[in-house]
Amino acid sequence: MKTIKGPAIFLAQFAGDAAPFNSFDAICGWAASLGYKGVQIPTWDGRLFDLKKASDSKDYCDEIAGIAASHGLAITELSTHLQGQLVAVHPVYDELMDGFAAPEVRGNPKARQEWAVDQVKRALRASKHLGLTAHPTFSGALAWPFLYPFPQRPAGLVEQAFAELGRRWTPILDYADAHGVDLAYEIHPSEDLHDGVTFEMFLAEVNNHPRANLLYDPSHFVLQQLDYLEYIDIYHERIKAFHVKDAEFNPTGRQGVYGGFQSWVNRAGRFRSLGDGQVDFGSIFSKLSQYDYGSWAVLEWECALKHPEDGAREGAEFIQHHIIRVTERAFDDFAGAGTDDAANRRILGIA
């Protein structure tokens, strides 16, 4: 068995224009001071990381890794959540999604999609330069506006959406394979891959591609009332990354899963800082350890109530407390009789 690595922290929600959050060196110093051992880098944030340089230059990647190492940190993964989202965008979201793209491709969905594919491929090259083997991203969505089947969906609409999603991602998955990196899709509302069934639909369209894998984040399953522990039993072989994020679901007579268009604070389902929500992390860490998940446990802070710096400080200790140092021997080895094959045959009466 393998011991989960960590604690690590996803830097996306902490990057900002004020020190120590405005440069990679400074934010690494801050993360290390809290007890983190790894950082997950958002590749879209130029204050922390130059994706173009990283994709073209191993020397630059060595420099970035060296900065992290100078603070006692490892780089856990690179993330293209925002760029992956733009690989597939339904036109109803065009204006909203433009904000995720480079200024020169905004207002041009075709150019934006091509830019997004190039961004993910660049992140895969950079991942190889850094010696990373998993890459978290989003799938994007073509069918999401039709999630609820009323008015009745035309026959074949969802199937065609997933066929197109598979067509767009298959070349990227092949590129990932050529670079020795797994794509770890975060299963997430607003993505076409938002639960196990939709992930399996996608796998069918990409011919069960070995590089089509998962980022496990239980918070999204609490909000949609999916069994996040059985999910590990079903998909553990595909889980290549792990966001440690808490959530709670408190339905009332007025609202439930859909949230009534309320702000995050007022929704029945909302994200919380670690330990403040309802996720059973003891069971999650046990199951992941049981199934030999040996990669990183990465804090993703998204809380409707608590200050991010408090969530980050508490999160490092929370994750460290939950990591199980796996045993190297069975607890009952002391009682072993040291028998051999001949003895076993005698015991069974088949000697």
Query: Phi and psi (nearest 5°) for 22?
Result: -110, 5
Neighbour-count burial of 224, counting CB atoms closer than 10 A to its CB (0-12 exposed, 13-18 middle, 19+ buried): middle
Position 333 scores a pLDDT of 82
Q: List, for residues 218-228, the tens digit of each pLDDT value.
A: 999 999 999 99
**Rg of the chain, C-alpha, whole Å:** 22
- In angstroms, the CA 293 to CA 224 distance is 24
**Whether pLDDT at 334 is above 90:** no
Q: Do 123 and 205 contact (CB within 8 A), yes or no? A: no
Contact indicator for 75, 64 with CB cutoff of 8 Å: yes
Phi, psi of 117 (to 5 degrees): -60, -45
The residues, ordered by sequence, that sit 6+ positions from 317 with a Cβ below 8 Å of its Cβ are 35
**What residue type is assigned to position 83 of the chain?**
Q
Q: 41 pLDDT exceeds 80?
A: yes
- Using CA atoms, how far apart are residues 156 and 264, in angstroms rounded to an integer? 34
**Residue 87 confidence (pLDDT) above 80:** yes
- Inter-residue contact 301 to 315 (CB < 8 Å): yes
| Per-residue pLDDT reduced to its tens digit, 167-189 | 999 999 999 999 999 999 999 99
Q: What class, spelled out in words, does domain 5-348 have in CATH?
A: alpha beta
Q: How confident is the model at residue 337 (pLDDT cuts 50, 70, 90)?
A: confident
Q: Are 30 and 21 in contact (CB under 8 A)?
A: yes
> What is the spatial distance between Cα 313 and Cα 311, in angstroms, rounded to a whole number?
6
Asked if residue 351 has pLDDT above 80, the reply is no
Coil, helix or strand for 103?
Answer: helix
User: Are the C-beta atoms of 297 and 4 separated by less than 8 Å?
Assistant: yes
How many angstroms separate the CA atoms of 276 and 271, rounded? 9
pTM of the model: 0.96
Q: 154: which strand partners?
A: none
Collapse the DSSP code of 49 into the 3-class scheme (helix H, G, I; strand E, B; otherwise coil) and give the result.
coil
Query: Could you identify the residue written with the tokens 């190889």?
Result: 128
Mean per-residue pLDDT, 14-26: 98
